[in-house]
Structure formats: structure tokens, C-alpha cells
Structure 1
């Protein structure tokens, strides 16, 4: 696959992810975005974290994930959202449960759009 098509695929993922973030923020009162541009930045950061840090988190928590039959992955997703809250100015989450719910809603919206914020997916 050429670099140009890879780059355009990432750009499409960021755009669709940004739209999903904006919709999820509209639906959830515990999530705040300063503006639409922050939503697209958040989508890009989530993609970057899913590519770099999340596999390490999954590996380190594998025993706990197996004991909980994979449900601990939801906690990891919530923690990724809280990390983004700390990292990105203009994005605020009211707490862990809102982060967890935001991650779930975001996942559902991305599934409906046929998009995944996991860059390894085709």
C-alpha cells in the first residue's frame, strides 16, 4: 500500500472520528469540548494512543483482562479518555464514569460510521 493511500486513510479516520466525538459530546452532559477543532484533535490523539500506548496497557493488564473476560478493556478505554482530558486543553470529562460512557458511545458511533479509531484496522 502506498504512503499516500495510508495517509488519506488516516485522514478519513480522523475526520470520521472527529464527527463521532462531536456527536458523543452532544449526547453526554459530562463531556465538554471547547470547539469542533478540539474534537478532531481528540480523535487524532486517540488514534495515536491506540497505536502506541494502548497495546502496552493491554499487555501489562492481560491477567486482569482474562479474569474479567475482557471487561477490563473498558476500564482501559476509560483511562485513555481521562488521559486525553489531562492532555488536551479544551476537552473536559467530569469523571471516570463519564469517560467510560464516552468511550462506549464513541465506539458505537464509530461502528455505525464504519470507522475505527484503531489505525491498524483496514
Structure 2
């Protein structure tokens, strides 16, 4: 259940990111509402997998660089991960379109902030 909620949160945050950042777009495979929603959910799933697998590996290997830059390198890494999601979804024939590296960095920053804010709202209260 937690996975599904997180997936919906990231998909909704991605939708808001596409409204805020003009260099990040989502192109569904059909022009219907259902196809658009499924596209956002699939991109959120791809982003979650890429972030968990590739992002986790990068964070472990590049830990000294994270320490030296006081974590600022994470903006660059997240932008590159968003570009990787763009590439993977492009291979599938639909999905995310990022206009360039800096749009990817800005998109990843906005996506992270919005996901964090929505996560604060939907997080279950601890007893």
C-alpha cells in the first residue's frame, strides 16, 4: 500500500513539475485522459526504479564527492537521473521529455521539493 501511495505522490508531483518547469514535458502514447494518467504513473515507476538502483549506486560510490561538495552534487546527479528516465521512456515510445541538462536539474529540484511537500501531507500520523 505504501508503494502505491508513493507512486501516486511522485506521479502527481511530476504532473505539477510539468506545469511549473517549461523544459520538462510528458507525452502520452494516446491523447486520452486514461493514457495520460497511466503515462504519469509509468514514468513515476521508472523514476523510482532508476532512483533506487542507479541513484543508490551513485550515492554509494560518489560519497566522498557528496561530502566535499556538502551535498550540492546531488542536484547534478538528480538532473542526470531525470535525463536517464527521459532516455528510457523515449525507448519505450512515450513519456518524459527534458529539453536539456539544466532543465533536468531544475526539473529534478522542483520534483523533489513537490514530492517532499506532498509526502508531508499524506504521511500517516504515528501513534
User: Counterpart of 1:118?
Assistant: none
For residues 12-54 of structure 1, the C-alpha deviation after alignment (integer angstroms, 9 at most, x for no partner) is: 1111111110110011110111133322111111111222221
Provide structure 1 residue ranges, at least 5 long, that are not aligned to the other structure: 1-7, 116-122
- TM-score for both structures, normalised by structure 2: 0.79
1:78-97 correspondence to structure 2 within 5 Å: 78-89=79-90, 90-97=95-102
Backbone CA RMSD of aligned residues: 1.3
Structure 2 CA distance for aligned equivalents of residues 50 and 99 of structure 1: 14
User: Counterpart of 1:44?
Assistant: 45
Preserved contact between residue 18 and residue 24 of structure 2 (Cα < 8 Å) = yes
Moved over 3 A (4+): none
- TM-score for both structures, normalised by structure 1: 0.82
Aligned length: 108
